[in-house]
Amino acid sequence: MTPMNFMHLAAAVVFAMPVVVSCAAAQSRESSMTKFDNVVPCLWFQGDAEIAARRYVELIPNSRILSIARYGEGAHLPAGTEMLVQFEIAGTQFWLLNGGPQFKLSEAASIVVRCENQAEIDRLWSALGEGGREMACGWLADRWGVSWQIVPAKLDEWMAGPPERSARMMSALLTMVKLDIDTLQRAYDGR
């Protein structure tokens, strides 16, 4: 498979549903260069895929770079430029493809990070939001345009709870930009 055909194949893998990773509760798992996940989200970058991947693995526990493939001579980007960065965030594998300006990332796909406490929400919100933009309801876009949802680990439980409790929690959530665990818990509890 030529590099250009591989690039087109990789571009077709871009996902449409949020990917969920958990910071504090990340389970360590055996992984190596010979064992890859069968389904891997691929994000199309215009450049800086390696810089972004290194930033993500620095911020989120249980994360690491797996491999970096580089463009060769005659490619549409300079030889030596990273083409595909394979990495794990909290044990979940991702690909970042430096494909050029043809496609843009959007809020239609996001990476959800479940945080055990407010300090973790605050830390990731600040670090991932640096140079990006804040959005409503715990969403932000980082400086590369990747959308993140930084949420309490209990959000799934609250959303699946009794309808009147979930509705109170959602009403509070919809007024927030960065999520506040205590305020959401009080709303869920009816306090």
Long-range interactions of 45-49: CB distance < 8 A, separation 24+: 45/96, 45/97, 45/98, 45/99, 45/105, 45/144, 46/98, 46/99, 46/100, 46/101, 46/104, 47/81, 47/98, 48/98, 48/144, 49/82, 49/84, 49/85, 49/96, 49/97, 49/98
Domain ranges of the chain: 3-150, 154-189
Q: Answer whether 60's CB lies under 8 Å from 21's CB.
A: yes
User: CA torsion 136→148→49→89, rounded to 10°?
Assistant: 170
- Per the structure block, which two tokens stand in for 32? 């190596």
Q: Residue 13 pLDDT more than 50?
A: no
Q: pTM of the prediction?
A: 0.80
Residue range 56-115, pLDDT digits in tens: 999 999 999 999 999 999 998 899 999 999 999 999 999 999 998 899 999 999 999 999
What does CATH list as the number for 3-150?
A: 3.10.180.10
